[in-house]
Amino acid sequence: MSDTRKLGFDTLQVHAGANPDPATGARQIPIYQTTAYVFRDADHAAALFDLREVGYIYSRLTNPTVAALAERIAALEGGAGAVCCSSGHAAQLMALFPLMQPGCNVVASTRLYGGTIQQFTNTIRKFGWSAKFVDFDDVDAVAAAIDDKTRAIFCESIANPGGYVTDIPAIAEIAKKGGVPLIVDNTSATPYLCQPIKLGATLVVHSTTKYLTGNGTVTGGCVVDSGTFDWSASDKFPSLSAPEPAYHGLKFHEALGPMAFTFHSIAIGLRDLGMTMNPQGAHYTLMGIETLSLRMARHVENAIKVAEWLEKQPQVSAVTYAGLKSSPYHGRLASVCPKGAGGLFTLSLKGGYDGCVKLVSALKLFSHVANLGDTRSLVIHPASTTHRQLSPDQLKAAGAAPETVRLSIGIEDPADIIADLEQALAQV
């Protein structure tokens, strides 16, 4: 669609990227289950490979179904472009890949998903990169962590598992002063609750597996570029500003302007890393996004009711939901997440680790799974599962201490959700 930025969110989530199929008139985006695309002639093929013409070459790089999803997510986030990939973890690597060189670092929040902390602590070191973990509530510490080798700042809008809300405008200002992009993982909030680009973020990443798809069927990831960062303002980002040896010396920023990051991620990132989203997965996510605003509103409505009830229970020592007036992050909602604090939070049990295990085992309506953002209510004990690889100090900093259970509140009848928690807590 044209002029998508002028349309409302509810309209964009249905129509962005979705034009009737020109060959058949099909109204829903078809699943283009194909590996390759026929070139008109040799000149057409050369133009595509030179990025002088936009089109489809090979489905490791581009696919019409996946491209429609990328366009839709970019429209919802207010970005210039986007690239979809195979998972949220793939999206994080894709976001860093054009920015980093051996010896460079990323300044990252201590409040991140455990798999992200592991990826940043150990895996990225194999590329010669490193991460500095900082409490992002201490903005002075974030600023102090930036050095001449820093190439990005990374945080989550609503942190998994604790539901903490990051002060994105404050962190964005630090990134701007440091001359580096701010990358925000917006998985837990979705663009319905939070739009990091409007708050100063350069890049937004998603695990589309979660709320965007919303039905627990496929994995996927996405990186959205704001198109506003000046990659040529310094010599920090040669892959985008200087001749790129991996693509016959093309200067991506000079040639492609606001779309430089997106085209680099496709032409080199997907080409060489191969973390491709499959078209059927993109189709499921496109259908899920059509009801995103409706689902997120219900997630928020239910989460507030459940969190308020849990806060009054004698077995519970703390509830981290930012939608509660007692939360230290409640005051940030108006500026960062004006439509609510999402459906993800943790509760701490006085019964400790053993009490958490009993609670998880006693729940019946909740599904015990390593996922979040489903229409169903989900539960997990992070310290023994998703965050198991972290040290005790890392667990505490991430909000995943041994006495903590993570809840992803679904869209069921809230009375049924509470009843299930009530019978399970009685057994703790």
CATH number at residue 393: 3.90.1150.10
Residue 320 has pLDDT above 80, yes or no: yes
- Any domain includes 398: yes
Task: Give residue 20's pLDDT band: very low, low, confident or very high (50, 70, 90).
Answer: confident
pLDDT score recorded for residue 399:
72
Q: Are residues 62 and 34 in the same domain?
A: yes
What average pLDDT does this structure show over 174-179?
98
Q: Are residues 345 and 282 in the same domain?
A: no
Q: Are residues 249 and 378 in the same domain?
A: no
Residue 204 has pLDDT above 80, yes or no: yes
Q: Which of 86, 53, 4, 8 is nearest to 293 (CA)?
A: 8
Residue 403 has pLDDT above 60, yes or no: yes
Q: Are residues 391 and 273 in the same domain?
A: no
Q: Kindly report the CATH number assigned to the domain that includes residue 27.
A: 3.40.640.10
Among residues 288, 315, 340, which one ends one of the domains? 288
Mean model confidence pLDDT for the chain: 95
How many structural domains comprise the chain? 2
Task: Give residue 30's pLDDT band: very low, low, confident or very high (50, 70, 90).
Answer: very high
Q: Are residues 81 and 23 in the same domain?
A: yes
- Any domain includes 2: no
What average pLDDT does this structure show over 59-76?
97
Name which residue leads in pLDDT, 279 or 389: 279
Q: Are residues 278 and 408 in the same domain?
A: no
What average pLDDT does this structure show over 36-65?
94
Q: Are residues 360 and 315 in the same domain?
A: yes
Q: Are residues 87 and 189 in the same domain?
A: yes
For 39-181, strand residue ranges (E) read 81-85, 105-109, 130-134, 150-156
- Any domain includes 260: yes
What average pLDDT does this structure show over 305-312?
98
DSSP state of 417: H
- Any domain includes 268: yes
Alpha-carbon distance 346 to 160, whole Å? 9
Residue 35 has pLDDT above 70, yes or no: yes
Q: Are residues 399 and 251 in the same domain?
A: no
Specify the 3-state DSSP secondary structure of 361: helix
Q: Are residues 200 and 283 in the same domain?
A: yes
Residue 388 has pLDDT above 90, yes or no: no
Task: Give residue 387's pLDDT band: very low, low, confident or very high (50, 70, 90).
Answer: low
Please give the share of the chain, as a percent, with pLDDT higher than 70: 97
Domain that holds residue 95: 7-99+181-288
- Any domain includes 104: no
Among residues 269, 288, 307, which one ends one of the domains? 288
Provide the b/e sequence for 239-267 (b: ≥16 CB within 10 Å): bbbbebeebeebbbbeebeebbbbbbbbb
- Any domain includes 270: yes
pLDDT score recorded for residue 114:
87
pLDDT score recorded for residue 385:
73
Q: Are residues 332 and 270 in the same domain?
A: no
Q: Cis ω on the peptide bond leading into residue 392 (within 30° of 0)?
A: no
- Any domain includes 80: yes
- Number of continuous H segments (helices) and E segments (strands) in the chain: 18, 12
Task: Give residue 340's pLDDT band: very low, low, confident or very high (50, 70, 90).
Answer: very high
Task: Give residue 168's pLDDT band: very low, low, confident or very high (50, 70, 90).
Answer: very high
pTM: 0.94
Please give the share of the chain, as a percent, with pLDDT higher than 90: 88
pLDDT score recorded for residue 4:
54
pLDDT score recorded for residue 394:
79
pLDDT score recorded for residue 5:
57
CA 207 to chain centre: 5
pLDDT score recorded for residue 19:
87
pLDDT score recorded for residue 3:
56
- Any domain includes 150: no
Among residues 232, 256, 288, which one ends one of the domains? 288
Q: Are residues 281 and 416 in the same domain?
A: no
